[in-house]
Amino acid sequence: MATDKINLTAPGEPVGHVAEDAQTTTVNNNTTDNNHSEIDAEVSQMSVSFADEEAALAADEAGLEIGEETAEEEAAAPTSGDDLTGLSEADLVVLFANKIESEPVQTLRPVVEAIKIAFYKQHRAKVDAERKAFLEAGGDEETFSPTPCAEEARLKELFAMYRNERDKYIAELEANKENNLKLKLAIIEELKELINSDETLNTTFHRFRELQQRWKEIGLVPQQNVKDLWETYNLYVENFYNFIKINKELRDLDLKKNYEIKISLCEQAEELTLETQVVEAFRRLQKLHDEWRETGPVAIEFKETLWERFKEASSRINKRHQEHFENIKSEQTKNLAMKLELCEKVETLVARPIVSRKDWNKASEELLEIQKVWKTIGFAPKKDNNRIYERFRAACDKFFELKREYYAGQKSEMEHNLALKTELCAEAETLAMSEDWKRATDELIALQARWKQVGPVARRHSDVIWKRFRAACDKFFERKAAHFASVDNQYEENLKLKQALLEEMRSADVKAGGFEAIKEFQRRWSQIGFVPIKFKETLQKEYKAIVDGMFATLRSSERDRSINRFRERVSTMKGSGQLRSERERLFNKVRQMEQDIALLENNIGFFSKSKNAETLIADVREKIERTKRDMSEIVEKIRLIDEQEA
């Protein structure tokens, strides 16, 4: 029966897994760069083991195929089962040599098969490890050549010896069968002569017994001659009994003895119908048939009865044997159909376009499941078994070849990504010492965004390059945090200074200091730096209110002084025409201010429809209020003139 075999990885197929996730970074550097596997370790090692099958195939490819099992090898008592577990290549070679030297060649086939499989399991593992080391060192797979193995060379020598001895045994066996055929044909000729002999009864019967004994002692003949030879021999044996006038007592005694032998053979055949090992029962039945043919005739009244009894038991055994192999054939036919379906699935998988690591991982899992199913299916018919296995293995090898090509391209891309990330690290390290906090922060955020867009790198570089980039980012943000921590302390101090200045401004005599005093307060306020943002608006409103109050106080005081000066001036112009002229001038000025106010108020409606309206409207309202204050002062001066003229 042929052996199923499968190659789980293409020659030099890398082992492992790659999955670099997209890195994520933020401005506060709460980022992480996932660990990524090496491209060279991407292709996952399948867990389905086909070591025995592959070893058997490797042995056959190395020229250690034995060939078809002969009937003599099948019938020979096998050697005791040897435990090969733990034996090294050298141990297996020594065991093989001992077996050839000490045991019959026709019994060695099972142990030879076991030794060569055990040897090539170890040998293939050693060669695969050597190939992997060669490729990892940068070698080209096409130039790889395994180190010559002395044990393999010795194993092949021993196998050649075994096969030579086996061939000699089979050749001698065939020659003996041909010779045995000639000897038995000669005995038949002697039987013919014996029937026509004029010798005495005792002499004739004695020679007949000798011929029977010689017939039994002669070994096997070619299978194609067995039936005709036995029928011819049996015919002349019966003729001897029927036509030679022998002593009836001797004849009856011989017939009785043959009867007892054939009764025993019938009983043995009937016992075999209960044997659970169908193949063993069939093999033993063949030996019973050989004995039946070698046994002489029985009395004519028992001949048909005995034969029908023996034939009936034989038919039952033959039927069980035939059904057994028909069941095996049917099962193997089903197995072939299932294996054809698995081949088509793998071939479909190979033809499927796969463009990402995720898809390759998924496809690899599918192939693993298919291989597991294949391993559970038994043999296909002998003529198809090797062919269907070769098709399955070729499809699996093609899958791994395509996968290896894909990850070879990925490896080149990762090397390019490493160069890009190295450049980003250099830029980040330059920005790490910058004190232009706003610009550097914006540029680092942009670098982090670019980092996320760059693809994965090989695992052996991934952690190192990410730590370098993160260290540069961390350094900048730590410096920035330290800087603004000191700024926050200064802001608190500035808050206290401004609060103290406001208290001073509230209690200040603005009338005594005048506008210069207000300007001094404004100068001192502007020299004090920033305050915490949460106090900024409130503090600014309070400051503005105090300053506005100061200016209002000064304006009120200035107005009073202006009115007093005008009163003194009006008193000097009393009784002259100057008062009338001054009143006319002031009145015209009031009329002009009223027109200005009306125009400004009209402009407010226009500005409300434009952008930045609030700022413009506030300025206009301030101008209106200022004009009204000035107009009020002029109206007061007109009133003073009218009082002087009354």
Per-residue pLDDT, 538: 85
pLDDT at 314 > cutoff 90: yes
Mean pLDDT over 611-621 rounds to 75
Mean pLDDT over 504-512 rounds to 77
Query: pLDDT band at residue 266, thresholds of 50, 70 and 90?
Result: very high
Which range is least confidently modeled, 60-69, 114-123, 263-272, 339-348?
A: 60-69
- Quote the distance between the C-alpha of residue 324 and its chain's center: 43
Reduced to 3 states, what is the DSSP secondary structure of residue 379?
coil
Per-residue pLDDT, 118: 86
Residues 6 or more apart whose Cβ sits within 8 Å of residue 73: 106, 107, 109
Mean pLDDT over 108-116 rounds to 85
Check: CB of residue 179 under 8 Å from CB of residue 137.
no
Max CA pair span of the chain: 208
CA atoms within 13 A on the CB side of 564: 6
Query: pLDDT band at residue 247, thresholds of 50, 70 and 90?
Result: low
CB atoms within 10 A of CB 478: 12
How far apart are the C-alpha atoms of 137 and 143, rounded to whole Å?
13
385-401 core/surface letters (b: 16 or more CB in 10 A; e: else): bbebbebbbebbbbbbe
237: which 2 tokens? 């044996």
pLDDT at 5 > cutoff 70: no
**Residue pLDDT, tens place only, 417-470:** 888 888 889 888 888 888 888 888 998 899 899 898 887 877 788 888 899 889
Task: Please tell me the pTM assigned to this model.
Answer: 0.43
* C-alpha R_g of the chain: 58
Per-residue pLDDT, 15: 30
Mean pLDDT over 531-536 rounds to 80
57: which 2 tokens? 């195939």
E-assigned strands of 391-442? none
Q: What percent of the chain has pLDDT over 70?
A: 81
Q: What percent of the chain has pLDDT over 90?
A: 9
pLDDT at 395 > cutoff 80: yes
Mean pLDDT over 373-394 rounds to 87
Which range is least confidently modeled, 209-218, 299-308, 372-381?
A: 209-218
DSSP 79: P
Per-residue pLDDT, 345: 92
Q: Which residue is it, tokens 């209960």?
A: 274
User: How many angstroms separate the first and last alpha carbons of the chain?
Assistant: 146
Per-residue pLDDT, 44: 40
How far apart are the C-alpha atoms of 135 and 141, rounded to whole Å?
7
Helix/strand/coil (H/E/C) assignment for every residue in 245-272: CCCHHHHHHHHHHHHHHHHHHHHHHHHH
Check: CB of residue 18 under 8 Å from CB of residue 407.
yes
Per-residue pLDDT, 267: 92
Per-residue pLDDT, 418: 84
Hey, where are the domains in the chain?
508-572, 575-646
Q: Which residue has the higher pLDDT, 364 or 641?
A: 364
278-289 core/surface letters (b: 16 or more CB in 10 A; e: else): beebbebbeebb
Per-residue pLDDT, 13: 31
- DSSP characters for 608-625? TTSTTHHHHHHHHHHHHH
Per-residue pLDDT, 9: 29
pLDDT at 53 > cutoff 80: no
Query: pLDDT band at residue 24, thresholds of 50, 70 and 90?
Result: very low
Reduced to 3 states, what is the DSSP secondary structure of residue 12?
coil
